[in-house]
Every structure is written in structure tokens, then in C-alpha cells.
Amino acid sequence: MTGIFDSHAHYTDHRFSDDLGTVLDSLPAQGVHAVLCCGSDLADSRAALRLADQRPWIFAACGVHPHEAAMASEADYAALRELLRAERCVAVGEIGLDYHYDFSPRAVQFDVFRRQLALAAEAALPVVVHDREAHEDTLRLLREFRPQGGAPWGVVHCFSGSLEMAKELLALGLLLGFGGAVTFRNARKPLAVAAEIPLDRLLLETDAPYMTPEPFRGRRCDSGHIRWTAEKIAEARGMEAQELADATRQNAHHLFRIPE
């Protein structure tokens, strides 16, 4: 399988500190065409941009993750606005809400997510959305910031909701990202949604170093593992894995406005 676009990874994570260069340089030979490296705070976003500047197949998303929302300051919003102007920054992310861990107060998460959605609209950049056990509030803000027109304007990554929620997100002009969870034995729902939604609304991702697919679960994930996710979804959809890789690559280029 070739030409795979990993639409969500975290190569600034400390788990890659010992062999990052080796891992990144190995990806093209494994069929990985491009990777979106997502930031979790300002320092992490700057690090993602540095990686994108060093390798042409890496692109960056800049933003403040809900886990870090309580640390966001007025100065951070000004700094983020500058980062979003960088040539290699193609999205605002990873942003959103996480009501599972609640590492930041929910009201703070909500405000930080709203302000970053506003920055994304100002910068005319798509958004990469984290939603964990916060479906209602996530939908509330996405409805508020839905742009005019029919062009796709973001992705809800690592989608774990119902088919009904998926349909509402699709109606709002969003894509859905699926990673290694679709290979887990107890994760029937995301695979069922990935099999059902229109092909032009689907993205492949790893969330590296997290969410390693079977049969490698328990090990550190990297973009080379994405083929197992692609094969699982392709099987569920009744299509060839290469066809899925080609379609999702085109979807990613379209969403992030990256010329092929």
C-alpha cells in the first residue's frame, strides 16, 4: 500500500525523543505519503512546525489541547495567531473538549475551544477537533462556528460517537478521522461508522504514539502502523485497501488545502 496520509500524529511526544529522525525518515519507504503533526500547546506547536520545516512530507497543526486549556493565557492567543500564519501550518489543532479526564475545568475548556475556533475562522484554516465524552458541547460550538458554504472545514479525530452523531457532524461540513481503535475487538461502533459514512468524508490517522492497532497493541505507534487501520476499514467497506488509501489521501489534501 502506498500514498497513505496520516492525518493525526504527535511526533513531538517524548516517546520519540530517542529515535525521532530514524522513525520519520523510514515512513516514505513504508508507503506513508504525508503526516499531519498536531500540537498540544504553544511549545508543542512550535516543535511541530520545526519538524514540518525539516521534512517535506510533514505538515503541522497548531493549537492548545483541552488537557492544557487551563494554562492558556492572553499572550498565548496572540502567539498562536502568529503561528497560524506559518507556511507549514495547515490547520488549527488539536483543539476541543475532553470531559473524560477533566485535566482542565470544563468551563475553561469550553472557552479555550471557542476562542480557537474563532482564530481558525479568522485565519481561514480548518480545525482538528478532539471530543471525548463531550459530544453535546462539542456540537454546540461546531454549530456556532460552522462557516457559510459547503466546503469541508475540519475533522473530528479519533471519532468514537454514534452513527447519529456522525451524520450530524457530516451535515455540519466536517470529516471524521479513524485510527487504530477500529482494529480493537471491543470497538465495534467506530468500525461500523467508518464503514457507513461517505468515502469523501473519511480520514485515516494513527494518533501516534497512541492507539496502536492490532496486532501491535501495547507498543508505541507510528505512522507505519496505519496500513492495518486502512485494511480493517477497507474490509468493512468491501473495497481494496489501496483504493481507500488513495481516497483518504485526496480527502486530506482537500481539507488541509495542500496541493498534491
Assigned C-alpha cell, 58: 510533514
- pLDDT tens series, the chain, 260 aa: 999 999 999 999 999 999 999 999 999 999 999 999 999 999 999 999 999 999 999 999 999 999 999 999 999 999 999 999 999 999 999 999 999 999 999 999 999 999 999 999 999 999 999 999 999 999 999 999 999 888 899 999 999 889 999 999 999 999 999 999 999 988 889 999 999 999 999 999 999 999 999 999 999 999 999 999 999 999 999 999 999 999 999 999 999 999 98
At residue 238, the pLDDT reads 98
At residue 187, the pLDDT reads 82
Q: Are 242 and 209 in contact (CB under 8 A)?
A: no
Q: State the chain's maximal CA–CA distance in angstroms.
A: 50
| Sheet (strand 4-9) strand order | 4-9, 32-38, 58-62, 89-98, 127-132, 154-156, 174-178, 202-204
What sign for the dihedral angle of Cα 110, 113, 119, 120?
negative
Rg of the chain over Cα atoms, rounded to whole angstroms, equals: 17
Phi/psi of residue 6, nearest 5 degrees: -85, 105
Sequence-distant (6+) residues with CB within 8 A of 214 are 180, 183, 184, 185, 228
| CA-based nearest residue to 252, from 113, 107, 90 | 90
Query: 81-87: long-range contacts at Cβ-Cβ below 8 A with a sequence spacing of 24 or more?
Result: 81/119, 81/122, 81/123, 83/42, 83/45, 83/46, 83/49, 84/119, 84/120, 84/123, 84/125, 85/123, 86/49, 86/60, 86/62
Assigned C-alpha cell, 211: 492507539
Assigned C-alpha cell, 85: 500564519
- Angstrom distances, CA of residue 27 to CA of 5, 80, 156, 240, 257: 11, 29, 24, 21, 22
